[in-house]
Amino acid sequence: MPELPEVEVVRLGLRPAVTGARVRGVDVLDARSLKRHRDAAGVVKNAADFVAALEGAELCAPQRRGKFLWIPIEPARDEVPRALIAHLGMSGQLLVREPGALDDRHTRIRIRIENPRGDVYELRFADQRCFGSLAVDALVSVGASVVPSQVMHIARDPLDAAFDAVAVRNRIRSSSRAIKAVLLDQQVVSGVGNIYADEALWRARMHWARPASSVSARKVDELLVHARAVMEQALAEGGTSFDALYVNVNGESGYFARSLQVYGRAGEPCNRCGTVIVREPFVNRSSYRCPRCQRQR
């Protein structure tokens, strides 16, 4: 599943194409990709409502919190501020294509846009497994920020300039859950998924199952520093691609997978001490660790 660096790569790729662009047309090819396009009561709206909400709209610079990406819509007079919000799910892709280009495989929605220079593009949402979605959602104020209503519960992420590391450290240490479970809790700290949690824990020499409340403040601070560093490195390398499902807006894969230290490396030697990396069950997923570097104390 795309994590923070992968979503940020997409956001940066979208920015020059969509900022200030006008929506000239919308084609919904598969309404399953609108399952999060809902009214205030949570009822899914139809495709015609989605099209009407977007056609003619002027788009602003794309924004992100954690794994959620949205493109604010320039509001008309007395109109409730809204945004086009994208959740990529397991296999969602946002692609920028020239008009008339052959449809990408599993294209579910096409949005034709014209930028201020008169250049026309198609913003395509492709999704093999249909776990992701697009929606038009109201923007609401949460503290000093404005986010879609569907993102209100999502905490700030380590790459956010307003990330409060001390407050997050205190929340982590107040939990008796496994440290990895807390790190993955998007209401505590957002954007850290299974891959980058394992990588950060390896860098911090910490066992994933250690109770968060037993970890010192210094070690939690260190873990958060590593989480930020590993995601910054992944972002610089275009994200992590294990297959063709994660790509940037041009359809290109990232190459951070080459830099992974533990994730996906079961049976291979640890690059720090040479001990064989192990894979262990974690909820419905897996955790990877070095038995020597990451002992459970």
Extract the annotated binding site: 106, 129
The label of the residue with tokens 């790729």 reads 13
Q: Are 113 and 59 in contact (CB under 8 A)?
A: yes
Extract the annotated binding site for DNA: 106, 129
- Joined together, the tokens standing for residue 5 give 């660096």
Specify whether 82 is catalytic.
Answer: no
The active-site residue out of 32, 116, 285, 292 is 285
Specify whether 219 is catalytic.
Answer: no
The active-site residue out of 11, 64, 67, 289 is 67
Q: Could you tell me whether strands 278-282 and 133-142 are parallel, antiparallel, or unpaired per DSSP bridges?
A: unpaired
Give how far the C-alpha of residue 146 lies from the chain's centroid of Cα atoms, to the nearest Å.
Answer: 18
Angle between helices 165-173 and 217-236 (to 10 degrees): 120
Task: Tell me whether residue 71 is exposed, middle or buried, using C-beta atoms within 10 angstroms of its C-beta: 0 to 12, 13 to 18, 19 or more.
Answer: buried
Specify whether 180 is catalytic.
Answer: no
The label of the residue with tokens 């776990």 reads 131
The DSSP secondary structure of 131-186, one letter per residue, reads --EEEEEEEEEETTEEEEGGGTTPPP-TTSTT--HHHHHHHHHT--SBHHHHHT-T
Specify whether 67 is catalytic.
Answer: yes
Instruction: Catalogue the active-site residues.
Output: 2-3, 67, 285
